[in-house]
Amino acid sequence: MKKDFIALADYSSEELQDMLSLAIHLKKEWKSSGNAPILKNKAMAMIFQKPSLRTRVSFDMAMRHLGGDALYLSPAEIGLGKRESIADVSRVLSGFVDIIMARVFEHDHILQLAQWADIPVINGLSDYNHPCQAMADALTIIEEFGSMRALKVVYIGDGNNVAVSLMHICAKLGADFIHSGPQDYQISPIAMKIGKQIAEKTGTKIAYFPDPQQAVENADVIYTDTWTSMGQEEEAKKREAVFPPYQVNEKLVERAKSEVIVLHCLPAHRGQEITDEVADGKHSRLFPQAHNRLHAQKAIIVKLFEE
């Protein structure tokens, strides 16, 4: 295992599967009798440049369930890279806590935190990727289908940080990954290159289809996300003009397999990228998926402390 949890591409397929198996175990344990306090006297610093519901609560509760503690650090309290250098923040926190989780705008900030820290650093989200979300996604898919192997996962919408990590975990764990979105909003070439390198080793497929109707044919999983992410607000009007054909609605879902599940990392802009009928319908797994953030992140934390 690596010291930090920065990107899924850093881990082998076996390491990721081992982490997910632990997540399943910890979830069952929590539901039956509660988790053992295996992180007693351990503390996590949670650095937030972006606000969050799921990331903050799930990491905080993960530490509590395992007997540890979590400290929330707001943008105003740190001013990462502005009030104080990232290197100094990282080295100071290394003497106060046992692990750092950071939710940032720039991916380079995560890399710098990890470079200077003497303790594990978890990427809670960056503009490049969102590996913790993808672990919860994979956990949700595995609970539904038993495995990700040979499944067809279709991501509809902006080729953003969520799409990057979803693509990489699909390739690592044996699922084919299809992206469908506007031509100008495809997944970055760097992330795509890494994904295809992984796919070559695992025998999976990665593809882009501009037509969402074609993309979802025989899909096992349909995934979508907001058209405009935090930090892109000035692009909202432009994006709202080109993304409507990529709405996940009942008509689109009907073109997939009858047992297809629909995922969304949330928050959802209902009536834009997804309709109420789908978000609240029989194919939706949006809320089990959100709850799985808690258990997937427990496994990540525990594995990092095993080092």
pLDDT of residue 1: 47
Q: Rounded to whole angstroms, how far apart are CA atoms 234 and 147?
A: 40
Q: What secondary structure letter does DSSP report for 178?
A: E
**Contact criterion met (CB below 8 Å) for 201 and 173:** no
As a whole-number percent, the residues of the chain with pLDDT over 70 amount to 98
Q: Which of 54, 130, 239, 285 is catalytic?
A: 130
Contact between 203 and 135 under an 8 Å Cβ cutoff? The reply is: no
Residue 307 — pLDDT band, cuts 50, 70, 90? low
Residues 270-291 pLDDT 10s: 999 999 999 999 999 999 999 9
225-237 tens-digit pLDDT: 999 876 778 788 9
Phi, psi of 40 (to 5 degrees): -55, 135
Residues in a beta bridge with 229: none
Q: Is 130 a catalytic residue?
A: yes
Among 101, 98, 97, which Cα is nearest to 122's? 101
Give SS3 for 91.
Answer: helix
Higher-pLDDT residue of 74 and 222 is 222
Give the ranges where 95-223 is alpha helix by DSSP (H). Answer: 107-116, 131-145, 161-173, 189-202, 212-215
Residue 2 pLDDT more than 70?
Answer: no
Q: Which of 60, 109, 170, 265 is catalytic?
A: 265
User: Does 133 qualify as catalytic in the annotation?
Assistant: yes
Class of domain 8-130+293-305: alpha beta
Choose the catalytic residue: 54, 168, 264, 293.
293
Q: Which 3-state string (H, E, C) describes 21-34?
A: HHHHHHHHHHHHCC
Q: Is 170 a catalytic residue?
A: no
Average pLDDT, the chain: 96
Instruction: In whole angstroms, give the CA distance from residue 302 to residue 307.
Output: 9
- 3-state SS assignment for residue 185: helix
Rounded to 5°, angle at Cα 39 from 298 and 57: 45
80-88: long-range pairs with CB below 8 Å, 24+: 80/47, 80/49, 80/104, 80/109, 81/109, 81/112, 86/112, 86/113, 86/116, 87/112, 87/115, 87/116
Q: Does the domain at residues 133-289 carry the CATH identifier 3.40.50.1370? A: yes
Same fold, 8-130+293-305 and 133-289: yes
Domain ranges within the chain, ordered by starting residue = 8-130+293-305, 133-289
Give me the catalytic one of 112, 133, 247, 272. 133
pLDDT tens-place string over residues 177-203: 999 999 999 999 999 999 999 999 999
- Residue 82 token pair: 């502005």
Active-site position among 54, 103, 109, 168: 103
**3-state DSSP helix/strand/coil percent for the chain, to nearest 5?**
50, 15, 35
Q: Which of 58-62, 235-239, 266-270 has the lowest mean pLDDT?
A: 235-239
Q: Say which of 127, 176, 220, 225 is annotated catalytic.
A: 225
283 is catalytic: no
